[in-house]
Amino acid sequence: MADQYYRFFPGDYQRDTGDLSMIEDCAYRRLLDYYYSNERSLPEDRTRLWRICRASMPEECEAVDYVIERYFSLNGNGYHNKKADDEIKERKAFREAQSERGKKGADARWGKSQEEAEGMAQAMLKHKRKDGLPSPSPSPSPSPKPTKDSKVKKRKIPMPDDFEISDRVRVWAEGKRYTQLEKHLEGFKLSCSAKGYEYIDWDAAFMKAITDDWAKLRQGGTNGTSKRYDRKDKNWADREADEEAERINRKWREAKAAKAAAYHTT
């Protein structure tokens, strides 16, 4: 198959065609295009040559005849141009070399030899499935199961510069009846800064510090709530809950008694 392009050397062409008229130059280029596209000599029939150049006027046909006589020579099977023949021969040799190189590369990469082909056939027969169909090649491998290590692990971080008492901590402390949160926070920050602590969840760490009394607010005094207690008493929290329940019941009884007294007075 002929190439879809050919090499063109403007300097050489200009040197050899500098005295051609515009019509003669056009005729020469069209003849060269035909020559390279078909990789063969031009036909001997002058009428055919005129049609190749699309020459219809007398001066155009004369230009074609002049170019043929100057740049082409009749040699058995048509008009030849020596430079074009050399270029075509060189391009054919180059294409053949590239094709051979490509075949060798394919053989080296894919092993297309007869022996390897037979070996592949034997392997397919060996691994034939029960249903009579050959096993897929390469064999499909099961999808890897996610491991614990593949899960994204949260990393511990230093205390944020803007760490303060969050709404989450306040709600938790209110439910646990812890007070003096500012003092707890101060003690917590001092301890963490001094020891370089890092946590994944700083709110949770702060709540644990309040529970463990890092600020030491319960030693011989308040327990971080509004009550005082004996630090040796292990059941102070249950006792406080009972006292709170008793206080609510007492208020309810007082309110009920006051309502009954007002009813009898009227």
> Domain-by-domain residue ranges, the chain?
10-89, 167-233
Is 27 a residue whose pLDDT tops 70? Answer: yes
Task: Report the Cα 46 to chain-centroid distance in Å.
Answer: 63
Quick one: average pLDDT of 145-149?
62
Mean pLDDT (the chain) is: 82
pTM over the 0.85 mark: no
Banded pLDDT at 176 (limits 50, 70, 90): confident
Q: What are phi and psi of 219, to 5 degrees?
A: -80, 105
Is 16 a residue whose pLDDT tops 80? Answer: yes
Contact in structure between 223 and 217 (CB atoms under 8 Å): yes
CA R_g for the chain? 51
Sole residue written with tokens 């646990």: 176
pLDDT at 245: 77
What is the rounded end-to-end Cα distance, in angstroms, of the chain? 123
Contact in structure between 202 and 159 (CB atoms under 8 Å): yes
pLDDT at 264: 76
Rounded-to-integer distance, Cα 104 and Cα 96, Å:
12
Rounded-to-integer distance, Cα 228 and Cα 218, Å:
8
Rounded-to-integer distance, Cα 183 and Cα 224, Å:
9
pLDDT at 177: 87
Task: Report the Cα 84 to chain-centroid distance in Å.
Answer: 51
Rounded-to-integer distance, Cα 4 and Cα 197, Å:
74
Helix 167-176, helix 202-211: angle, nearest 10: 20
User: Element (H or E) spanning 13, and its range?
Assistant: helix 10-17
Contact in structure between 40 and 76 (CB atoms under 8 Å): no
